[in-house]
Amino acid sequence: MRIDPKIDCAHAPVVALGGREFFVPALSLRQARIVVPGLLKLLPRLNAIQTRIGAGDPLGAALLDKDDLDLMIDVVHAGLTRAYPDFSRDDLLDLEAGFADLAGALAVIAKQTGLFAQAETSTPGE
């Protein structure tokens, strides 16, 4: 799998999926139009799952259904295509990646949208 030479991945975070590492540079609008709505749909469900698991409920992930998992896959795939435009959804589906891998990739991809950036500590106008 080849990285798009037009995309600077020198400072991009890396995600691990199925024992392979992938760069996730800042997303373009092409990816964001899929990633952002997907994340906004997924976040309430994933937060509820995390809360239940954190409270010791071993079946917390049972809240996740097939549509949620498909949306997670779509979001992760879109997030990876900025650096790997030839990487297909089927390529992602063929990786031996689990829920933890997908959730970790989602967290990195969410940051790369720019929507969830850390708040600056300086006051505007300084």
Instruction: State the alpha helices, DSSP H only, in the chain.
Output: 29-54, 66-80, 89-93, 99-112
- Has residue 119 been placed in a domain? no
Position 125 pLDDT exceeds 70? no
Average pLDDT over residues 17-45: 94
- Has residue 35 been placed in a domain? yes
- Has residue 19 been placed in a domain? yes
- Has residue 7 been placed in a domain? no
Largest CA distance in the chain: 50
Lowest average pLDDT, out of 53-62, 70-79, 86-95, goes to 53-62
**Distance, first Cα to last Cα, the chain:** 45
- Has residue 124 been placed in a domain? no
| pTM of structure | 0.85
Confidence of residue 1 (pLDDT cuts 50, 70, 90): confident
Confidence of residue 100 (pLDDT cuts 50, 70, 90): confident
- Has residue 20 been placed in a domain? yes
- Has residue 106 been placed in a domain? yes
